[in-house]
């Protein structure tokens, strides 16, 4: 357990029912930027979460009672480890939990010899593109990221996301084991 009272661990099947409410709470911040439909939309498919849990690519942040307050879901995509979702419940945000979840994904990507960790995000929202940039992620051309990433952006556009605001970001894993940018970001909170 960290000094903040939260720890990160792989998800267990009994955690899965609590992840939808965490995701819904996390998404509530989109209401403040004219994207309320995201806050009210579907959460991750429970079957997908169960599969990621079985595959060991679903992490939860838990409080002192071992209750999930955040999670990160990821999978292989175009030779990279792709972060499909990072959600931290609204009342638990701005405590470094998201960074710690991302660190877990980066550590996994390195252990599994992926070339990069990727994600799609809004390039202009402070808790999206600029946040990931502070951690060392850089925007990459979707064509260079691969067909799965292009398909992901296309699916997001079909779901209603403004494609001019969305991007693929990547963190190359040939960098030092612990990114100094992540350490700096944690100390600047």
Domain boundaries, the chain: 7-187
| CA atoms within 13 Å, Cβ hemisphere of 186 | 16
* pLDDT < 70: residue spans in the chain: 1-4, 175-189
For residue 175, the model assigns a pLDDT of: 62
Q: Work out the number of other CB atoms within 10 angstroms of the CB of residue 129.
A: 20
Strand order in the sheet with 58-62: 7-10, 58-62, 68-77, 80-88, 116-122, 166-172, 138-140
CA dihedral 153, 60, 135, 75 (to 10 degrees): -40
The rounded distance, in Å, linking the Cα atoms of 70 and 93 is 9
Give the model's pLDDT for residue 38: 84
The class level of CATH for 7-187 reads: alpha beta
For residue 167, the model assigns a pLDDT of 96
Q: pLDDT value at position 39? A: 82
């Amino acid at each position: 357990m960290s000094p903040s009272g939260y720890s990160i661990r792989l998800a267990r099947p009994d955690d899965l029912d609590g992840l939808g409410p965490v995701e819904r709470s996390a998404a509530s911040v989109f209401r403040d930027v004219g994207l309320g439909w995201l806050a009210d939309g579907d959460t991750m498919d429970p079957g997908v979460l169960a599969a990621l849990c079985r595959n060991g690519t679903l992490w939860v942040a838990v409080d002192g009672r071992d209750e999930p307050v955040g999670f990160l879901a990821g999978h292989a995509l175009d030779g990279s480890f792709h972060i499909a979702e990072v959600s931290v419940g609204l009342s638990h945000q701005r405590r470094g939990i998201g960074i710690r979840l991302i660190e877990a994904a980066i550590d996994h990507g390195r252990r599994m010899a992926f070339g990069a960790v990727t994600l799609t995000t809004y390039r202009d929202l402070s808790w999206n593109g600029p946040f990931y940039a502070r951690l060392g992620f850089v925007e990459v051309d979707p064509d260079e990221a691969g067909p799965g990433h292009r398909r992901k952006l296309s699916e997001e556009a079909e779901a209603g996301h403004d494609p001019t605001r969305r991007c693929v970001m990547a963190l190359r894993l040939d960098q030092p084991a612990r990114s100094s940018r992540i350490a700096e970001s944690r100390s600047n909170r």
